[in-house]
Structure 1
Amino acid sequence: MTEQPFDKKSFLASLTERPGVYRMHAEDDTILYVGKARNLKKRVSSYFRNSGLAPKTQALMQQMRTITVTVTHTESEALILENNLIKEFRPRYNILLRDDKSYPYICLSTEQDFPRLGFHRGGRRGKGRYFGPYPSAGAVRETLSLLQKLFPIRQCEDSFYRNRSRPCLQYQIKRCSAPCVGFIDKADYAEDVRNTILFLEGRDDAVIDSLVQRMETAAGHLDYERAATYRDQIARLRSLSEKQYVSSEGGDLDIIACSSASGSSCVQVFTVRGGHHLGNRAYFPKHIAGSEDAEILAAFITQYYLGEGQGGGARRPIPSQILVNHAIDDSDWLQGVLTEQAGHKVSIHARVRGERARWLEMATDNAHHALQQQLSSKSSLTARFEALQDALGLEAVPQRMECFDISHTMGEATVASCVVFDSEGPNKSNYRRYNIEGITPGDDYAAMRQALLRRYSKVKEGEGAMPDVLFIDGGKGQLRQAGEVLQELQIGGITVVGIAKGPERKPGEEDLFLLGHKTPFILPADSKALHLIQQIRDEAHRFAITGHRQRRAKARQRSVLEDIKGLGPKRRQRLLKQFGGLQGVNRAGKEDLARVEGISLALAERIYDVLHGDSH
């Protein structure tokens, strides 16, 4: 049976001039491309002209066998339907935004007497105030950490808060005012909450005015210690305002810049809310080589703002202004749809001046830099990172991963290791070892808890960076310790994975436990994501064993005789020579020891007691 060629003449003759969406299918009916059109007849006809088609369009038309169309009532409906079909079918010739996960917010639970400030992702259905969205979980963690220093609002989970009988570590390091045990009254706490809201709304001047008034009141009552605390808060706020304020106009806007090279593209998004720069993030959309930057920006903006949140949650909030570094075709069409979806006027600008031009230039530079980094590291490591992103359902390719392991011999000389991987691979300058003390020998759970507490307490204090993914070499027990430590330190937004050896303890059969999930999952033995996990786990194991062996060797080289008061190097040497080594000294009685030159009876008794466990 011969294949019937596509009858373009009759198809185009009967095609409507109304708005709609068209789909190009391959021979096996796979959708190759989805497009939108204000005028279906005019737009689809343009694919069949004799010359002037871009190389990627020519390749598309060579594979196309049939075209189907959906007529819509309005142009806006066409654009939204196009976005939904692209998301559903992910056609090869469309530009695809890899990231369609939900986006993070800061949530303030205002319904409580002592509200909680915390990390939130997904739909905003719960009671409280939501601030954001932020470009990444890291940006949320950074802001939460800053807020703890400015206004010590609690960030612990409600279950943790309700069961406290004494202050936790956050109070001790001055990151919380301990409302759980009544160390602050409702009025003072409410004032901190009010200032937090003003700060997150970008109203820094109002916060500073409030703190100045409180400082003067405290000084008037001769409470100079509290006045000094307010003074320090004001200084930190002023410094922060100088660094983060975008312009005197304030407002909400997103700055989106695209850079392309070598068949790849990077879209950099800078997020500004209330005049504050909340952070930026790089995206690497998938597309066919030859796509223009303006085309990539148009596709990116559509999917970025009109796509559903994770689990069908609310769409990403749309700011009133979007700055782009390339003029977009049919930008008025896109502006109209975004305005309709946002419920307020949305404008897209490519030509801007002054402060906005400088920020657009910065976004373009960042897009170019991120793309160059991506291209320079396009190797097996990059493929493994992307595979891990897919395997764990991460919002983006992880930029920093850490893995902990414990090593000891029958409980002796326990050492914990922490290794760090970033986009360049092992980051050995950030590796850390922890000598574990004060636990029951062989208690791996306690050892893991101590190492994690020591590591992330320092990070909370500003020493180092938080990882995107935390691997724990161990099963559910070790993973539980990690979850408890992160809760105690009020650290959120980190994906935590436990790596347990399978029943046969063979590589490729590891059980992977995600924190918060009861059942493990197993990746195929040929999975690139599993290979990366194994590499990180093996590096943590190697680093832990090396440290353990060094510590054990050092302990075993040190003689117990060195800790006995009054027994100096010369006397130790005489003892060892007289009895042929430490074992001979250990077998000797008190009188035998006292016969050695320089060893009195009192010293002999002390040596005997130490060797036989009667004294320390």
Structure 2
Amino acid sequence: MPETFNLKSFLADLPHLPGVYRHLDENGEVLYVGKARDLKKRVSSYFQKNLSSPRIALMVAKVARIEVTVTPSEAEALLLENNLIKRLKPRYNILFRDDKSYPYLHITGHEAPRIVYYRGSTAGAGRYFGPYPNAWAVRETIQILQKVFRLRTCEDSVYANRTRPCLLHQIGRCSAPCTGVISLSAYQSDVDRAVRFLDGKARQVLDDIEERMHQAAEQLEFEHAALLRDQMAALSTVLQQQSMEQIGEDDVDVIALAASGGKVCVNLAMVRSGRHLGDRAFFPSHADSGALEDVLAAFVAQHYLDSAMPAVIVCAQRLPDPALLDLLAESVGRRVRWLHKPQGVRRQWLEQAQKNAELALARVLSETGARMARTAALAQELGLEDDEAALEALHIECFDISHTAGEATQASCVVYKHHAMQTSLYRRYNIVGITGGDDYAAMRQVLQRRFARAADDPEQLPDIVLIDGGKGQVETARQVFTEYGLDISRLVGVAKGEGRKVGLETLVFADGRHPVALGQESAALLLVAQIRDEAHRFAITGMRAKRGKARTVSRLEEIEGVGARRRQKLLARFGGFSGVASASEEELASVEGISRELAERIYNALRC
């Protein structure tokens, strides 16, 4: 440790208070963040002769300084610890990927409520159901509600301006409250039944529909009775397809862990109001497969500080620190039960979650093995180091240019590292100041912007720079690298084969090596094609979005008399540019501030 940091004196001065501690190395990088009920006891325990694991011993050997923050309570220490872990990502903490917020199903507060996929705060009007483990589970539920209860999904602006039922009504997925096919009171009754279904009262809803069907038949309203019969059949099918039996109206999370091949999987099954919403598998970083208790504690702390905590959590393992559950319950303001020996249906849930964890882990191990093999094959083809550590650190960046006839030119940069695409490191570059369609100038500009400072910081330079293009693009890249004094042997062009057929690509080098045709069966080519195709996808989606925005805004801006406020009113009224473009002159003139003359001008301008 540096002479400026006196460990013995530091430990002696630590208080017997709750707080958070941070281990730092000689460069000031945070190695580990932890919380403690008693800072003095917990931090001192790291510097005893017998440490709990070799991994901890390795970390302690690198500690050069320790920082602590005292907190009013252990619960606040837990909050601070996990905020620091997510922000700093210390290399010795078990880290779970910080995903976006979980999705919900939202039934809006409109007079004719719509069902919608939703992420974000649940403090707004209407009812929110979830959270769901993934977007697919929400959309599946929306399809069920459309099929059984025929609730609308259209935007409110579209609803307000419909003059006839849409296609969803024609195929039996919406009852068309927008045009009065169903009264608002009858539609609201369907919404209420959908809410009861989502609240876990599906059997009550089924009985209600059956009773109404018999009443309609007795009153000789056979068409209505047939509609209710079909609704009841659809709901019965949904109930039969539920993969987990209902048990009351509980909100339950089922946590299962599996370890193999040096990896750990934490599988989370969500049950809300008695309905199984689906599973989600997590694969933590820096996890020791021999210390599942630590993985479980890290998952519970990191997951439930940001996500809704159910009344019951089922898991085969005991929570290592029972006080953790009390701290979490205190932070969310509710009592939570931890069941590690469940019975009956909950035991079946746990067994199924365990199977799903093992399947997910086997799939990831298989995919990881294939990716490692591809990385090794490419490294061998290019003459790079192919030991395990070098392959893990192999850093590849790929650049591509996209435009439509010179319009809205964009360049993309995608990154491959640790045997996977690193989406958080992707970048798009708007290309300006060049002749439209000049791909060489566009490539020169993006490489200059990306590597201008690489000579001062060699760590910024990837091991391989893939260029989507042949000799011309590679020569442009070579000139940029030579200008900045960078190693041109890192540049590799991917020239498309005859007819642009996949498998016929040729690798083109900037340092004079002969081009290499890897062949359709090459594992290295599979990796190159994967990275190249991802760069192309990322570039073209960005270009299309930029082009669409430019065209939409410019076409309205070019119309004399349509300023920012009128443009905003038009877009809001018709739900976007396509709605404005398809509106009639009468509909355009009905917007506040749009005269009949201006409506005619807009109508004609958008049809040129």
Q: In 2, distance between residues paired with 1:105 and 1:474?
A: 36
Q: Which residue of 1 aligns with 2:94?
A: 95
Do residues 24 (structure 1) and 23 (structure 2) align? yes
Q: In 2, distance between residues paired with 1:511 and 1:209?
A: 67
Match of 1:203 among 189, 201, 204: 201
Q: Which residue of 1 aligns with 2:344?
A: 354
Secondary structure of the residue aligned to 1:125 is coil
TM-score, normalised with respect to structure 2? 0.62
Residue 338 (structure 1) shift: 2.1
Q: Which residue of 2 aligns with 1:413?
A: none
Q: After superposition, give the CA deviation of every residue in 1:25-56 in whole Å (9 maximum; x if it has no partner).
A: 01111110001111222222221221243111
Q: Which residue of 2 aligns with 1:11?
A: 10
Matches within 5 A, 1:444-483: none
Q: After superposition, give the CA deviation of every residue in 1:108-137 in whole Å (9 maximum; x if it has no partner).
A: 113x22111111111123211111110101
Residue 509 (structure 1) shift: 5.7
Residue 216 (structure 1) shift: 1.2
Return the index of the structure with the highest Cα Rg: 1
Secondary structure of the residue aligned to 2:350 is helix
Q: After superposition, give the CA deviation of every residue in 1:556-607 in whole Å (9 maximum; x if it has no partner).
A: xxxxxxxxxxxxxxxxxxxxxxxxxxxxxxxxxxxxxxxxxxxxxxxxxxxx
Q: In 1, distance between residues paired with 2:356 and 2:265?
A: 9
Letter in 1 for 2:319: I
Q: In 1, distance between residues paired with 2:324 and 2:444?
A: 48
Residue 199 (structure 1) shift: 0.6
Do residues 158 (structure 1) and 156 (structure 2) align? yes
Q: Is the 8 A contact 1:154 1:176 kept in 2?
A: yes
Q: Which residue of 2 aligns with 1:119?
A: 117
Matches within 5 A, 1:87-486: 87-110=86-109, 112-244=110-242, 245-289=244-288, 292-307=291-306, 316-331=307-322, 333-378=323-368
Q: Is the 8 A contact 2:260 2:289 kept in 1?
A: no
Q: Which residue of 1 aligns with 2:58?
A: 59
Q: Is the 8 A contact 1:339 1:345 kept in 2?
A: yes
Q: Which residue of 2 aligns with 1:401?
A: none
Letter in 2 for 1:323: V
Q: In 2, distance between residues paired with 1:242 and 1:538?
A: 44
Residue 356 (structure 1) shift: 1.1
Q: Is the 8 A contact 1:325 1:364 kept in 2?
A: no
**Alpha-carbon spacing, 1:205–1:537, altered in 2? closer, same or farther (3 Å):** same
Q: In 2, distance between residues paired with 1:32 and 1:212?
A: 63
Contiguous gaps of at least 5 residues in structure 1:
308-315, 385-472, 480-496, 513-522, 541-616
**Alpha-carbon spacing, 1:181–1:511, altered in 2? closer, same or farther (3 Å):** farther
Q: Is the 8 A contact 1:104 1:135 kept in 2?
A: yes
**Alpha-carbon spacing, 1:63–1:500, altered in 2? closer, same or farther (3 Å):** closer
Between the two proteins, what is the percent identity of the paired residues? 43
Q: Is the 8 A contact 2:251 2:271 kept in 1?
A: yes
Q: Is the 8 A contact 2:94 2:285 kept in 1?
A: yes
Aligned Cα RMSD in Å?
3.7
Q: Is the 8 A contact 2:247 2:345 kept in 1?
A: no
Q: In 1, distance between residues paired with 2:11 and 2:465?
A: 51
Residue 381 (structure 1) shift: 5.3
Letter in 2 for 1:376: S
**Alpha-carbon spacing, 1:288–1:526, altered in 2? closer, same or farther (3 Å):** farther
Letter in 1 for 2:74: E
Q: Is the 8 A contact 1:104 1:137 kept in 2?
A: yes
Q: In 2, distance between residues paired with 1:255 and 1:162?
A: 43
Residue 17 (structure 1) shift: 2.0
Q: Is the 8 A contact 1:20 1:78 kept in 2?
A: yes
Q: In 2, distance between residues paired with 1:236 and 1:499?
A: 49
Residue 352 (structure 1) shift: 1.7
Q: Which residue of 2 aligns with 1:504?
A: 438
Secondary structure of the residue aligned to 1:377 is helix
Q: Is the 8 A contact 1:499 1:510 kept in 2?
A: no
Q: In 2, distance between residues paired with 1:72 and 1:383?
A: 48
Q: Is the 8 A contact 2:265 2:360 kept in 1?
A: yes
**Alpha-carbon spacing, 1:327–1:138, altered in 2? closer, same or farther (3 Å):** same
Secondary structure of the residue aligned to 1:378 is helix
Q: In 2, distance between residues paired with 1:150 and 1:176?
A: 10
Q: In 2, distance between residues paired with 1:180 and 1:78?
A: 52
Q: After superposition, give the CA deviation of every residue in 1:262-317 in whole Å (9 maximum; x if it has no partner).
A: 2222111111110110111111121244561121111111111213xxxxxxxx22
Residue 503 (structure 1) shift: 4.3
Q: Is the 8 A contact 1:269 1:281 kept in 2?
A: yes
